[in-house]
C-alpha cells in the first residue's frame, strides 16, 4: 500500500487537558444545532429508539446535571433501578433522566444546555484522581469495564458528538465538521482497534473527520473504505446497513467491519 496507515491501537488516549478543549468545541457545535431547532422539530423522531428531538435534548441537559452533581447522578441511578427494572442499568438511568424533564419545553431545554454545559466540562475536569481510577460497567455485555476517567474525558464528549449528528439527521441540518471532530473519530477508531478480534484490516475513512488506520495485529488482509461520519453512526448502532467499499483483499472483511460496535 502506498498510502500511509497508522496503527490505531497505538494512538495516544486523549489526555485530561485536551479533553476539556474538545468538550468546549463540541459544546459550541452542539449549541449551534440546538439553536436552529424550530417549532416543528421537537416531535420529530430520531435514530435513538423511543426518543424524539425534545426527549433527546432533555437527555443532554440531564447529562450536564449528572456531571455537575454526583448527588443528582446517584439519585437517578437509584430511581432508574426502582422504576425500570426491565431495563439495563444505563438505560434505566437515562429513563430517570428523561422523567425529570418531561414538563420542560424545547426552547427551555436549549437555554438550560447553554448554561449547564460549560459547568459540566469544568466539573468533569475537577474530579479527583482516585475517583478517575475507579472502574464502571459499560452496560454492554461484550464490552470491557472502563475507568471513570475515560468516561469523563472521552465518552461524554463522544456521546454529545453523536447526539449532535442525531439531531442534525432528524431535522435536516448539515453537520459542521471542525478540527475537534477528527480527534473524536480518532479515539473511536482507537477503541475499535483495541477490541478488534477479526483478521487485520486497513480502514480508510473519508471526509473532513477521516483518516487511514490499521485495525488489528499483523499485515492487513483487506482495505475497507467508508465515509467517516457514516461509519461512526454504524459503530454506534445507528446504521447497520452502512455503505462500505472493499478497496482490495478478502470480502469477509466487509461483514466484520459492519458488525463492529463501539460505546458512544
Instruction: Say what the pLDDT of residue 118 is.
Output: 96
DSSP string of 150-173, one letter each residue:
HIIIIIHHHHHHHHHHHHHHHHTP
Query: Is 72 in a helix, a strand, or coil?
Result: helix
Where does the chain show beta strands of DSSP type E? Answer: 6-7, 135-136, 146-147, 201-206, 211-215, 222-227, 245-249
Which residue has 466540562 as its cell numbers? 121
Phi, psi of 226 (to 5 degrees): -155, 160
For the chain, the domains span 6-10+179-259, 16-171
Q: Residue 168 in contact with residue 174, Cβ under 8 Å?
A: yes
Instruction: Say what the pLDDT of residue 140 is.
Output: 65
Candidates 159, 132, 126, 137; CA nearest to 148 is 132
Positive or negative CA dihedral for 247, 252, 258, 260? negative
| Cα 138 versus chain centre, distance | 13
Instruction: Say what the pLDDT of residue 4 is.
Output: 83
CA distance 66 to 62: 6
User: Residue 48: enclosing H or E segment and its boundaries?
Assistant: none
Positive or negative CA dihedral for 95, 149, 264, 144? negative
Output DSSP code: residue 146. E
Candidates 1.20.140, 3.30.1050, 3.40.1350, 3.30.160; CATH matching 6-10+179-259: 3.30.1050
Q: How far apart are the first and last CA of the chain?
A: 31
- What's the fold here for domain 16-171? 1.20.120
**How many beta carbons lie within 10 A of that of residue 50, not counting itself?**
11
Instruction: Say what the pLDDT of residue 143 is.
Output: 67
Q: Residue 180 in contact with residue 21, Cβ under 8 Å?
A: yes
C-alpha grid cell for residue 218?
A: 499483523
What pTM did the predictor assign? 0.94
Phi, psi of 198 (to 5 degrees): -95, 180
Candidates 240, 242, 181, 173; CA nearest to 207 is 181
Q: Could you read off the pLDDT tens digit of each residue along the chain, which spans 264 residues?
A: 557 899 999 999 998 899 999 999 999 999 999 999 999 999 999 999 889 999 999 999 999 999 999 999 999 999 999 999 888 888 999 999 999 999 999 999 999 999 999 999 999 999 998 999 998 877 666 667 889 999 999 999 999 999 999 999 999 999 999 999 999 999 999 999 999 999 999 999 999 999 999 999 889 999 999 999 999 999 999 998 999 999 999 899 999 999 999 999
Amino acid at each position: 500500500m502506498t498510502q500511509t496507515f497508522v496503527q490505531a491501537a497505538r494512538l495516544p488516549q486523549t489526555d485530561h487537558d485536551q479533553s476539556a478543549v474538545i468538550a468546549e468545541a463540541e459544546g459550541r457545535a452542539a449549541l449551534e444545532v440546538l439553536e436552529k431547532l424550530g417549532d416543528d422539530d421537537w416531535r420529530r423522531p430520531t435514530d435513538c429508539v423511543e426518543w424524539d428531538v425534545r426527549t433527546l435534548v432533555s437527555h443532554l441537559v440531564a447529562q450536564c446535571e449528572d456531571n455537575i452533581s454526583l448527588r443528582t447522578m446517584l439519585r437517578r441511578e437509584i430511581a432508574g433501578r426502582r422504576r425500570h427494572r426491565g431495563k439495563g442499568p444505563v438505560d434505566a438511568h437515562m429513563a430517570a433522566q428523561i422523567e425529570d424533564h418531561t414538563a420542560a419545553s424545547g426552547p427551555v431545554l436549549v437555554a438550560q444546555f447553554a448554561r449547564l454545559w460549560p459547568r459540566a466540562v469544568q466539573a468533569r475536569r475537577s474530579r479527583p484522581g482516585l475517583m478517575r481510577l475507579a472502574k464502571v460497567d459499560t452496560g454492554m455485555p461484550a464490552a470491557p469495564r472502563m475507568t471513570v476517567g475515560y468516561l469523563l474525558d472521552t465518552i461524554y464528549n463522544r456521546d454529545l458528538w453523536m447526539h449532535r449528528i442525531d439531531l442534525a439527521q432528524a431535522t435536516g441540518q448539515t453537520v459542521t465538521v471542525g478540527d475537534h471532530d477528527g480527534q473524536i473519530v480518532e479515539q473511536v477508531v482507537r477503541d475499535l482497534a483495541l477490541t478488534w478480534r477479526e483478521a487485520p484490516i486497513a480502514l480508510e475513512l473519508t471526509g473532513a473527520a477521516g483518516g487511514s488506520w490499521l485495525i488489528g495485529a499483523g499485515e492487513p488482509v483487506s482495505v475497507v473504505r467508508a465515509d467517516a461520519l457514516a461509519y461512526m453512526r454504524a459503530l454506534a448502532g445507528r446504521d447497520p446497513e452502512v455503505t462500505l467499499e472493499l478497496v482490495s483483499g478478502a470480502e469477509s472483511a466487509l461483514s466484520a467491519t459492519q458488525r463492529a460496535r463501539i460505546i458512544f
